[in-house]
Amino acid sequence: MKCAYCESRETKVMDKREPQDASVTRRRRECLRCKKRFTTYERVEEFELTIVKKNEAREQFNREKLKSGVVKACEKLPISVEEVDTVIDSIEAELRRLNEKEVSSKQIGSLVMKKLKKLNKIAYIRFAAVYHEFEDIESFEKEIKKLVKR
The residue among 41 and 105 whose pLDDT is bigger is 105
Question: For residue 31, what pLDDT band results from cuts at 50, 70 and 90?
Answer: very high
Q: Say how far residue 84 (Cα) sits from the centre of its chain.
A: 5
Do the Cβ atoms of 32 and 12 come closer than 8 Å?
Answer: yes
**Which pLDDT tens digit goes with each residue over 66-86?**
999 999 999 999 999 999 999
> What integer pLDDT is reported at residue 45 of this predicted model?
67
> What integer pLDDT is reported at residue 136 of this predicted model?
85
**Which pLDDT tens digit goes with each residue over 118-140?**
999 999 999 998 888 888 888 88
Question: How many other CB atoms are found less than 10 A from the CB of residue 3?
Answer: 20
- Strands (E) located in 22-140: 24-31, 37-43, 50-52, 58-60, 102-104
